[in-house]
Amino acid sequence: MSDAPKPPAIAPVGRGLAAGGVLDAESPGEPVTATPATVPADGAGRGATELAEIVVLDYGGQYSQLIARRVRDCGVFSELLPHNVPLEEIAARKPRGIILSGGPASVYAEGAPPLEPGLLELGVPVMGICYGMQLLVHELGGRVEQAEVGEFGRSDLHVSDGGRLLDGLPREQTCWMSHRDTVFEPPPGFTALASSSASPVAAIEHRGRGIYGIQFHPEVVHTPYGQEILTRFLNEICGCEPTWSAASIAEDQIRRIREQVGSGKVICGLSGGVDSSVAALLVHRAVGDQLTCVFVDHGLMRKDEGEQVVSTFRDTFKVPLVAVDAESRFLEKLKGVTDPEAKRKAIGAEFIRVFEEEAARLADAEDGGPGGDRPSGERPIKDRPARFLVQGTLYSDVIESGGGTGAATIKSHHNVGGLPEDLQFELVEPLRALFKDEVRAVGAELGLPERLVWRQPFPGPGLAIRIVGGEATKQRLDVLREADHILQDEIRKAGLYRELWQSFCVLPDVRTVGVQGDERTYGYVVVIRAVTSDDAMTADWARLPYDLLEAIASRMINEIREVNRVVLDITSKPPGTIEWE
């Protein structure tokens, strides 16, 4: 059993894309090695020729995706798949190797995720991490038992036999453990490589069969040699080359967009955030003026952001852009709505309706104006000039929206769970397989301005979901917008903007008593939320300097008449989420 407590902070992220290949199983006792081969482009993010991947199978660990990220750090493409994905699908991908993730189950528990025996017959190296190692040991005849005490957190690791996986690493090192079940004996034919404070067998390998296992978590920074171990597995054992890069991502996605769209017209809902901006520019590079961006000013954006978006894309990048002032209709849809999920879905649905109307107008314009037998909005989708909709969905969006194995829906993401069932467009999602840092790298590769590339994440539903517990009225939005402007201004002046994953304000539907001058006030509370993170899957609250906090609070209270109290959110993720709603 593994992954009980929160893993520690994670390391900065790199990029990667593996060259394709298959494995030749050599004679028993000799290591399985990789030989290059050309493979088809079956997986997301894979190119047209000689591009394969490392498959990470998810056995329920909440942070299994971090393993996939660390593989990409090594310049090798990887994707997280359900543990019960059909063996035929895995084989069709022709991966260079397979990693079994951790998970919360015990190998002896009823309903515990099992090991598909055929995985070990694919002729590719397999490495189990935590529960993944226990599963291999249990299925192959070793001994796994529940220990008297669990092993959670930092632990001392003693390497007794480096073997192939740990060769050259220090004999004594630290690692991060998260398990209660323990391996006491390796399976027949396997070599025990290491032990830890509470694990008699903490690493194993069978070089001839190409099967490896480690009880600890190499994907977290509290395992100092974790990335080196992953690199050893990828490069020396799986034979992968570090060719996954921002340039290769852009090239591959441009090709895929052209294949999907053909000569069709594309419409993009441009928000000005880095995700939609990179997605839009990728599509524009792929199909040029077949793309029309629609910027919907829903009245829920940050101060002056609308003008910045229009200027950047229409004037600088010469992307066809239609700007729509829709503030009044969004506010009308939000009247009386206080539930966060209802807000998200109402905003998402209205966005789609606006897109459809703009697509119809664009079609009418191409036809020489309104007219004909029926409005273009009533045309079958296949006959409409704009039949594709670009979305900046990221890999983390999919996971948080329940797209990962066994993942509960934390929230309906604006790019995933908030779309109406009667969607009238075919989605184009060029970023769906990418993490945020990879999106930024692609944006820089495409020439986006630094200020836009490094813009902090902003939710699709905008400031409406940062008004917590109450209705998103025009007056409350204006208060929140001014508070957010002050926060961003002070953080930028302090030189901290790039160091933070997100910094924003929350306006609860709460008022408190205050005193300003000789008068009693009854004003809003503004919550400052600032976090550090690598990918939004885990986050820590930012330790902002006291003098900066004082300056921010003083400006908010002095410059915003309706505010009389400022507080700081010091909750990490988990247990909290970054956004309040």
Contacting residues for 269 by C-beta, under 8 A, at least 6 apart: 276, 293, 294, 295, 296, 351, 355, 389, 390, 391
Task: Please choose, from the candidates 54, 145, 35, the residue with its C-alpha nearest in 3D space to the C-alpha of residue 97.
Answer: 54
Q: Which residue has the tokens 């779309």?
A: 419
Q: Which residues are catalytic?
A: 130, 217, 219
Q: Cα–Cα distance between 301 and 304 in angstroms, integer?
A: 8
Among residues 8, 6, 1, which one has the least CA distance to residue 174?
A: 8
Query: CA 8, 506, 397: angle at the middle one, nearest 5?
Result: 50
The C-alpha atoms of residue 317 and residue 334 are separated, in whole angstroms, by 34
Q: Which of 313, 297, 305 is nearest to 354 (CA)?
A: 297
Shortest CA distance to 525 belongs to which of 550, 575, 473, 560? 560
**Cβ-Cβ contacts under 8 Å for 373 (sequence gap 6 or more):** none
Count CB neighbours of 437 within 10 A. 18
β strands within 400-473, DSSP E: 426-428, 467-468
CA-CA distance, 358 to 377, in Å (whole number)? 9
Q: Are 183 and 199 in contact (CB under 8 A)?
A: yes
Residues in the chain: 581
- Residue 398 has a CB neighbour count (10 Å cut-off) of 20
| Distance (Å, whole) CA 533 – CA 440 | 14
